[in-house]
Structure 1
């Protein structure tokens, strides 16, 4: 059975998008998602995205990390799907409803309201989420006192002098899988460089280091705003490029940035199932 796909990316965070709005796909397991995402023997991507009908929104967006795990939210993929569908659209995700619309700078996404309660992150037990009283050793120092934020998926945000000096490939998986995060966590290391500017790197839960993470940019911006480090609109610069994040007076986050179609193709489902 031949299945069409669209390869897309948002600032280098890349996706294989399967459009199942008109024709349902065969049963999609985590193993199939991981096989398609494999960069050596599959199509290759950070996340596999499936667009389906929804009874709560215009369409439903399902998100699978490259390890095959289905997750709640992906900001860059939201922009990609918004571009692919076109116009203003609402999307149902496991993390809640979001809305996308065309913008002069690409696609703007209403990412909804952030959550800060310890059990909404979730954390293993009650604690302050603005400065978690925990740390992990890194070299001669430590990554400590992160801000915990849920923006549809869980994030821990560490503010450091230089995100590129942090051995994120080593410490990222340790923090991601720490028992204090019962559903694992995305790990963000960020530096505030001005009242309207942040530099960010992200270790994504289930995907590793990516060139960009939209929910990570949202979580980091809101964390910096909660600490009074930046204003309510900031440019977050990731390895793949910049995103604009705004947190309005109605407690809603808007993320604005580009999305790109790389190429289209098809594959035989039986080769991966």
Structure 2
């Protein structure tokens, strides 16, 4: 069977996307997903998504990590699937869709290359020594560092992700450096088990953790990641983050067919 796919990337976070509204693929398993995401023996990507029908929403996003397992919410993946839905003609410039962490609203430019995705509200941030832990649709660990460009993110992140506190369920590990006019972020992602060029739920978590040092109000945070630039906007009342938007590019890289 030949299945059509598209490859999208959002600030270097790349995904394989399949239109699954007619349900052609059967018996989807972790081995198949991992094979498709393999950068040497498959298409290659940080994750794979199916765009499926839903009676109450424009579509549903079904996300798998590159290790083949069903994933938690992926912010850049969410932005990419919105661009994919526009390309398919499922939506125009606004949408309400369903993901694993609930409903999401998003808007996309007419050109289809900039997506603003509403994320879940967050009201709980806990401390882990000098780091912060919170859930923005996926669990995140946030630690502020200096000289982030030279940090061994792979080994440091892997160590934290697999320590006694987090190894059972895993956690995404974010390191952040305050550059004054923006934040520089690098992330080790569970499920990929490597550093990625960007992590949408991760930069959202970082912006919230760092906002605790600021006065409450409407906060806009420019973010630099290895794959480009993102921006996080939200309202912060001193304890809760609402009207949270992850903003950035989402672009189609190529499309093709793969044989199963």
**Is TM (by shorter chain) over 0.5?**
yes
Matches within 5 A, 1:242-257: 242-248=229-235, 251-257=242-248
Q: Which runs of 5 or more structure 1 residues have no equivalent in the other structure?
A: 118-128, 134-144
Tell me which residue corresponds to 1:159. Answer: 144
Q: What is the CA–CA distance in structure 1 between the aligned matches of 2:221 and 2:206, rounded to whole Å? A: 10
Q: Does 1:106 align with 2:129?
A: no
Matches within 5 A, 1:249-268: 251-268=242-259
Contact 1:72 1:152 in 2 (8 A): yes
In the alignment of these two chains, the number of paired residues is 245
Tell me which residue corresponds to 1:124. Answer: none
Equivalent residue of 2:256, what SS? strand
CA 1:155/1:58 → structure 2, altered by over 3 Å: closer, same or farther?
same
Tell me which residue corresponds to 1:92. Answer: 98
Give 4+ residue runs of structure 1 displaced > 3 Å after superposition.
none
Q: What is the CA–CA distance in structure 2 between the aligned matches of 1:223 and 1:205, rounded to whole Å? A: 20
Matches within 5 A, 1:173-192: 173-181=158-166, 182-192=168-178
Tell me which residue corresponds to 1:138. Answer: none
Q: CA deviation at 1:165?
A: 2.5
Tell me which residue corresponds to 2:90. Answer: none
Tell me which residue corresponds to 1:193. Answer: 179
Q: What is the CA–CA distance in structure 1 between the aligned matches of 2:109 and 2:120, rounded to whole Å? A: 18
Q: CA deviation at 1:166?
A: 1.9
Q: Does 1:209 align with 2:210?
A: no
Equivalent residue of 2:242, what SS? coil
**Cα-to-partner distance string for 1:163-199 (whole Å, 9 max, x where unaligned):** 22321111211211223124210000001122x5100
Tell me which residue corresponds to 2:89. Answer: none
Equivalent residue of 1:61, what SS? strand
What is the RMSD of the two structures over their aligned residues, measured on CA atoms? Answer: 1.9
Q: Which runs of 5 or more structure 2 residues have no equivalent in the other structure?
A: 87-92
Q: Does 1:18 align with 2:11?
A: no
Contact 1:198 1:234 in 2 (8 A): yes
Tell me which residue corresponds to 1:132. Answer: 128
Tell me which residue corresponds to 1:45. Answer: 45
Q: CA deviation at 1:22?
A: 2.9
Tell me which residue corresponds to 1:171. Answer: 156
Tell me whether 85-94 or 236-245 shows the greater mean CA deviation.
85-94
Q: What is the CA–CA distance in structure 2 between the aligned matches of 1:103 and 1:37, rounded to whole Å? A: 28
Q: CA deviation at 1:42?
A: 0.7
Contact 1:59 1:92 in 2 (8 A): yes
Q: CA deviation at 1:221?
A: 0.4
